[in-house]
Amino acid sequence: MEDHAEWSRPSPGRSGLRADIGLALVLAIASVTTALLYQRTGMYPGAAEPWVWAVGLGLTTLPLALRRLYPVPVAIVVSIGFFVCGQFGVPEVLIINIALFCALYTVGAWERRRALALWARLGIGVIMIVWLLITLMIASSSSEVFEGISRSGIFSAYATYAVLQIITNLLYFGGAYFFGERSWRAARTQALLEAQGRELELERQTSAEQAVALDRLSIARELHDVVAHHVSVMGIQAAAARRSIERDPARAVAALGVVEESAGTAVDELRRLVGTLRDPSTESSAPTTIGVAHLSALVNEAQSSGTPTTLIVAGEPRPIPMLVDVALYRVVQEALTNVRKHAGRGATAEVRLRFGAAAVEVEVTDDGVRQELSQQSRGSGLGLQGMRERIGAVGGTVHTGRRERGGFIVRACVPHTPSSSSPVAGSPAD
């Protein structure tokens, strides 16, 4: 017997209860009608008293109103009513057989305790078969029952009749068991399919929400990298222009030129980002302006903004995947932005790009003063968090912290993978 303990069929509800009450009333009325008709035929001489009719037919039909709420008790009561009708001469055989079949079917289809459902049907079936056998044995020795039918010999007419009765009852109880089990299994399968459908729908919604969240995170990182970098350059150069506009107009004009250039670059990158968001198919065809091959442009920009910066490339340059290329570029961009914002005046920076046998690494260091580094550590942290998310997404790690000799260090390392076959355009340019 298969274990169904993990699933329970839900209650029939009000509509199901109303349907069962209607079925019980229809069968009760039909049983009285057919009993009167059977009595009219004269096939049942010496019929039972009316109160026996009421008890037998009532017990057989009316409890079916609660058949799906209490399957086993209802089946037992209906069986008792069936026995009363058959044993005490109530002239009805059609409706009571239908009612008993319906009760046994309901046990198989609706009883949540499957072991109880099995033993209840088996017990009722065995008792009914034993009752039938006893009745046939008693009738075989009475000449008043089936008068004129031969009873001599193993293949007599009465023996044939008895065999037909046994086969009919076995098919009757077997059919009630089969269709009840089939209904239970079908309902269970449907419930499991519906549950799986709900789980799939929930997973689809969750996946969609996660995709939106990842898109929002990616957009936030891009906007932070683009805006923070260029705005910090513009802020520093605008301050320099304000301080030198009276005593050194030429220097102020140069600083304002850097502001103008940074503003134009920021607008171009924002347009590129917006264009990619509107039409993702253009992302792969758009010219690549970021990557480790363009670190020299970041270094030059840092130098023009007043932060002496050098670029050192170590190892043999090699193609790296596009996502790794962009992630490393963004790390350097954010690190140089932080140098300009937090390292203080007079600080210098150094950018190292290392191509190793097992990994590619970028490192940005500065020699900013110690007290100003503490301001960096108290910042919003979005830039450092964005670095870790970007590098983590391509399988790398990021280390940030104070240097023993003073200043701050940002190091990002991404291991090489056998599947790294997406090259970038060119090698780092000095």
CATH number at residue 418: 3.30.565.10
**Does the residue 213 lie in any domain?**
no
**Does the residue 261 lie in any domain?**
no
H-helix segments, 42-113: 50-61, 71-87, 94-110
d(CA 242, CA 251): 10
d(CA 327, CA 118): 65
| Residue that is last in its domain, among 203, 221, 246 | 203
d(CA 388, CA 217): 13
- Please tell me the total count of domains within the chain: 2
**Does the residue 277 lie in any domain?**
no
Residue 297 and residue 179 share a domain: no
The backbone torsions φ and ψ at residue 117, rounded to the nearest 5 degrees and listed phi first, read -60, -45
**Does the residue 307 lie in any domain?**
yes
**Does the residue 285 lie in any domain?**
no
pLDDT, one tens digit for every residue, the chain (430 residues): 444 445 777 778 888 899 999 999 999 999 999 999 988 887 777 777 889 999 999 999 999 999 999 999 999 999 999 999 988 989 999 999 999 999 999 999 999 998 999 999 999 999 999 999 998 888 777 666 666 676 666 677 778 888 898 999 999 999 999 999 999 999 888 888 888 888 888 888 877 777 666 666 666 666 666 666 667 667 766 777 777 777 777 777 777 777 777 777 767 777 766 665 665 555 444 444 678 888 888 888 888 777 889 999 988 888 888 888 888 888 898 888 888 877 777 788 999 999 988 899 999 999 887 444 444 444 455 677 778 888 888 888 999 888 888 889 999 999 986 444 444 434 443 3
Per the structure block, which two tokens stand in for 219?
Answer: 């957009």
Residue 174 and residue 297 share a domain: no
Residue 179 and residue 311 share a domain: no
| 3-class DSSP state of 395 | coil
d(CA 297, CA 265): 12
Which of 370, 360, 354 shows the shortest CA–CA distance to 405?
Answer: 370
d(CA 262, CA 234): 6
| Residue that is last in its domain, among 203, 235, 257 | 203
| Residue that is last in its domain, among 178, 203, 228 | 203
**Does the residue 148 lie in any domain?**
yes
**Does the residue 273 lie in any domain?**
no
Residue 151 and residue 25 share a domain: yes
> Which domain does 362 fall in, by range?
291-430
Residue 195 and residue 298 share a domain: no
Residue 299 and residue 410 share a domain: yes
